[in-house]
Structure 1
Amino acid sequence: MSSLSYGLLAAPLFSSFFFLPAVALPSRPVSRQAPAFTRTGCFIDGPNRTLDGGFKGDDGMTIELCAEHCSSFKYFGVEYGRECYCDNEPPAPSLIAPDTECSFSCAGDASQKCGAGLRLDVYVNDGYTPPSPPADPGAPFLGCFVDAPGRVLPDRITSADDMTAAKCAANCAGYKYFGTQWSRECYCGNTAPTEAAAASECNMACSGDGNEICGAGMRLSVYGPASTTTPPDDEHINPDSVDDFFYDGCYTDSVARRVLSGHSIASPQMSIELCAATCANYNVFGVEYGIECYCGMELDASSVESPESDCKMECAGSASQICGDASRLIVYKKDTEGTPEPPTNPEEVGAFKYQSCWTDAVGTRALSAKDERSTDMTIERCAAFCDGYAFFGVEYAGECYCGTELLGGEPSAVTDCNMLCSGNPSQWCGGPNRLNLYAVNPVSPSSSVPVVPATTTSDIPSANVPSTTIGPTATTVVPETSTITPPPELTTVTSCTTSVVSGLPSCYQSLPPPCAAMSTSMAQPSANMLRDMCSGALNPLPPMIATCIPTIYVFQAPPVYSCLQSKVCAFSTACATNTYTVGEEPTPTPPANAAVPNGGFESGTTAGWTFSSPGVPFEVQGVANERAHTGARSFRALFQNTAQRYSVMEHDAPVEPGAKYTFSVWVSHDNPLHTWCSMWVGVTPSAGTYASASLLFRDLAAGAWHQLKFDLTAAASFVNIKVAFSCSAYGGPVEYEGYNALYFDDFELIGKL
Structure 2
Amino acid sequence: MTVGYCKKFCTKYKFYGVQDSTWCFCGNFFTENVRHPERECNMKCSGNNKEICGGNWRMNIYRSPEYNNEYLGCFQDQTSRTLADKYINKKSMTVEYCRKFCTQFQFYGVQYSTWCFCGNRLTKNVKKPEGECHMKCKGNQRQICGGSWRMNIFRKPEYDKDYLGCFQDQSSRTFTGKRTHSKSMTVEYCRKFCTKFQFYGVQYSMHCFCGNFFTKNVRHPERECNMKCSGNNIQICGGGYRMNIYRNPEYSEEYLGCFKDHSSRTLAGKYTNNKSMTVEYCKKFCTKFQFYGVQYSSWCFCGNSLTENVTKPERECLLECSGDKKQFCGGSLRMNIYRNLQLKNEYLGCYQDQSSRALPNKSTNYKAMTVEYCRKFCTKYRFYGLQSSSHCFCGNRMTTKVKKSEGDCNMKCNGNRKQICGGSWKNSIYRKPTTN
Q: Which has the higher relative contact order, 1 or 2, with Cα contacts under 8 A spaced 6 or more apart?
A: 2
Tell me which interval the TM-score lies in, with the shorter structure as reference length. Answer: under 0.3
Which has the larger Rg?
1
- Per the normalisation by structure 2, the TM-score is 0.27
- Per the normalisation by structure 1, the TM-score is 0.18
